[in-house]
Amino acid sequence: MTRTCLAVILAAGESTRMNSSMSKVLHPVGGRPMIAHVVESLVDAGISSVALVVGRDADQVTSAAKRGDIEISAFLQTERLGTGHAVLAAKEAIAKGYDDILVVFGDTPLITAAPLMVARKALAEGTDVVVIGFQTADPSGYGRLIVENGELQAIREQKDASEEEKRITYCNGGLMAINGKKALDLLGKIGNANVKGEYYLTDIVEIVRASGGTAIAVEAPEAELMGCNNRAELALIEAVWQKRRRHELMVSGVSMIAPETVFLAFDTEIGQDVMIEPNVVFGPGVTVESGAVIHAFSHLEGAHVSAGATVGPYARLRPGANLGRDSKVGNFCEVKKAQIGAGAKVNHLTYIGDAFVGEKTNIGAGTITCNYDGVNKHVTRIGANAFIGSNSSLVAPVSVGDGALVASGSVVTEDVPADAVAFGRARQEIKPGRAKILRERYQAEKAARKK
């Protein structure tokens, strides 16, 4: 759209029902604050600017909402006198003369751009106020949308509704679009002659009609308008978001054996023909390229998995893990801030941290890169086509050259040249008959303790 648009996001609530030390809109959905989801949908709907009405944790909320491609101004609401009062906290921004004003809530992270675009289209066609509503099987507690001949007559709260109106299943979702040229005049006419003495934004419908303007309602899926008031509702929103994102990925060509057990982050990127087995968790910052396999019970965060690589089962990739093409990180392995070369294998019970592993190198079971000296982290470098025997400890900083072999059970504290063999363990000694002598001694000691 060529029309300018200001989004007013109401995010000043006290969030008391969350029983939390931080503002409700900062709680994450899909690994990022819910208010960031709202802003993303607004950007997709073509907004020009955001007026963020804040209260508690104002600086943190503003920071969480910021994006580099839009202008965000914060307005502090010091009193809580209703939604109409909250919108007018952004009066300075509204007065700049935008074509469209969108009023949304910071705790509706499931909203998409589609209904917002429909509402903006209606404004462009001459409607003054557009209310976004939803159909529900159980309308109890919601304001009903009274629609006649295609126009919205009023929003009737349940306590004020007649028995006939209570049977209406078309309900107010709270989100609204207003003609920007009339917004301040309409908002200024909202009164507080009610039991609570508050200014209700919903009154704007009857106000605009009384002034000769028009109001309509447009429908959005009920789930998109789901707000969050407590932890139980937050979990429900997370479940809906996860289901939506899984579906998008599977439609794009990702296979999931048990999708309901896979958990994704807002920025998870997964290519075609990737197979994801049950009980896999993706934290923020993960990219998985085409043809990779993520086996069951693996946890990935801040990691890159190249095409054809396999992870797990029971593997953990921490931030900075970068797996090369056709590489393998197997069961009960952890990789952190490490480059695993193409075709390299880290198969069993191994920790690789702050390291570079060359192409086609094999890391044996129980290997550890000892990267921390208690104060600083150090790097281990392992060349291509090397072989690290099981139960080896590589004490960084240290390097193992191309084609080198580290014998099983070694503690490597010095660099190993290319094609060399390193033994970092004591020579084995055999003492014939000693096991029998020791066993008899231990048995005698045990018997003596029982007396």
**Cβ count within 10 A of residue 432:** 6
The CATH homologous superfamily for domain 255-422 is Hexapeptide repeat proteins (2.160.10.10)
Of the listed ranges 130-139, 176-185, 379-388, 441-450, the one predicted with least confidence = 441-450
Of 100, 239, 249, nearest in space to 177 by CA:
100
Question: Helix (H) and strand (E) counts for the chain?
Answer: 10, 35
pTM for the whole structure: 0.91
Residues 17/25, Cβ–Cβ less than 8 Å:
no
- Decide if 211 contacts 7 (C-beta within 8 A): no
Domain layout of the chain by residue ranges: 5-225, 255-422
What are the beta bridge partners of residue 362?
Answer: 345, 387
Show contacts of 186-189: CB within 8 Å, 24+ apart: 186/128, 186/129, 186/211, 186/213, 187/84, 187/87, 187/88, 187/91, 187/94, 188/88
Q: What is the pLDDT of residues 195-241, one digit of tens each?
A: 788 899 999 999 999 999 999 999 999 999 999 999 999 999 999 99
- Among this protein's residues, is 348 annotated catalytic? yes
Closest by CA to 109, choosing from 267, 240, 286, 264, is 240
pLDDT, mean of residues 295-304: 98
Alpha carbons 340 and 323: distance in angstroms, whole number: 5
Cβ atoms of 170 and 153 within 8 Å: the answer is: no
> For residue 44, what are the β-bridge partners?
none
- Lowest mean pLDDT, pick from 110-124, 157-171, 309-323, 327-341: 157-171
Residue pair 320/305 in contact (Cβ under 8 Å)? The answer is no
Give the active site residue among 37, 295, 304, 348: 348
pLDDT at residue 225 in the model: 96
Residue 373 CB burial class (10 angstroms; 0-12, 13-18, ≥19): exposed
pLDDT band for position 1 (50/70/90)? low
Q: Which amino acid, 173?
A: G
Q: What is the DSSP string of 219-283?
A: E--GGGG----SHHHHHHHHHHHHHHHHHHHHHTT-EESSGGG-B--TT-EE-TT-EE-SS-EE-
Distance CA 64, CA 25 (A): 9
The lowest-confidence range among 118-127, 148-157, 273-282 is 148-157
Peptide bond just before 33 cis, omega within 30 deg? no
Question: DSSP secondary-structure letter at 121?
Answer: H
Q: Report how far apart, in Å, the C-alpha atoms of 267 and of each of 31, 166, 297 are.
A: 9, 42, 20
The pLDDT value recorded for residue 231 is 95
- Estimate the crossing angle of helix 58-65 against helix 34-44, to 10 degrees: 40
Least confident of 113-127, 282-296, 332-346, 427-441: 427-441
pLDDT of residue 132: 98
Strands 299-300 and 281-282, how do they pair?
Answer: parallel
Q: Across the chain, what does the average pLDDT equal?
A: 95
| Cα angle for residues 170, 175, 181 (degrees, 5° grid) | 120
- pLDDT of amino acid 67: 86
| Tokens of residue 160, six digits | 């004020």
Confidence of residue 24 (pLDDT cuts 50, 70, 90): very high
Q: What pLDDT is stored for residue 278 in this prediction? A: 98
Give percent of the chain above pLDDT 70: 100
Measured distance CA(247)–CA(256) in Å, rounded: 10
For 5-225, which CATH class?
A: alpha beta
pLDDT of residue 230: 95
Element spanning 164, H or E: helix 163-166
- Confidence band (pLDDT; 50, 70, 90) for 291? very high
Q: How far apart are CA 396 and CA 371, in angstroms?
A: 5
pLDDT in tens, 332-382: 999 999 999 999 999 999 999 999 999 999 999 999 999 999 999 999 999
